[in-house]
Amino acid sequence: GTTVDFESTLGMPRTQTRGDLLLGVRLFERGRLELQTYSLRRSGTRQLLDDSVVVNGITYSAQARLTTSFESEVTRLGLGYSLLKTPTAEAGILLGVQFTRYRLRFVGEGRINNEPPESRSVEEGDKGPLPTFGAYGSFTLAPGWSVQMQADYLPVDSKRLRGGLGM
C-alpha cells in the first residue's frame, strides 16, 4: 500500500487542541484504572505536487487538489502501574483496550484506470476494540500545583488502513 502522511501530503494541521473526559480510580498504591473518551476532527486541502495518491483504486494525480477529512471518537480503558511513586512524583506505564470509531474521507479530481478525471470521493470507516499502550507522569511543584503528562499510542488497523495515533 501507499504510505501517506496526513500533515505533509494532505495538508492537515500537525496539532490540535481537544478536550477529553478522564475518570480514574486508584486500585492499590501503585495501580490505577482509567476510562477516557475524546474525539478528533481534522481536515485539510492540498494540491498534490510531485506524486499521485491512490485510494481504493482511484488515482488522484499530481497537481490535483485533494480535500481530506479525518474524524475519530476514542474510548479507552487502561490499567496503569506506577514504576516510580513518591509523595511528590509518579511515573508509570499503561496497558489497555481502546474502542475507536473513525471516518476518513478524500474528495478531489480522480480517475479510475484510464477514464477521464472527474470529481470523486472515497470514504473509509471502521470501529472495533484494539490494544493501547501508554506512559504517564506527574510532579508536584508546590501545594496545589502540579505538572502532569500522559502519552498514548493507539494502533489503527482495518481491512485497508494501518497506522497509529500518538496522543
Q: What is the 3-state secondary structure (H, E, C) of 14-82?
A: CCCCCCEEEEEEEEECCEEEEEEEEEEEEEEEEECCCCCEEECCEEECCCCEEEEEEEEEEEEEEEEEE
| Cα separation, 77 vs 71, whole angstroms | 20
Give pLDDT tens digits along the chain (167 positions).
Answer: 556 677 777 778 777 777 889 899 999 999 999 999 999 888 888 776 666 777 777 777 767 777 888 888 889 999 999 999 999 999 999 999 998 888 888 888 776 777 777 777 777 777 778 899 999 999 999 999 999 999 988 776 655 555 444 44
The set of cell numbers assigned to 32 is 490505577
| Cα separation, 53 vs 9, whole angstroms | 9
Please state, as a whole number, how many other Cβ atoms lie within 10 Å of the Cβ of residue 11: 17
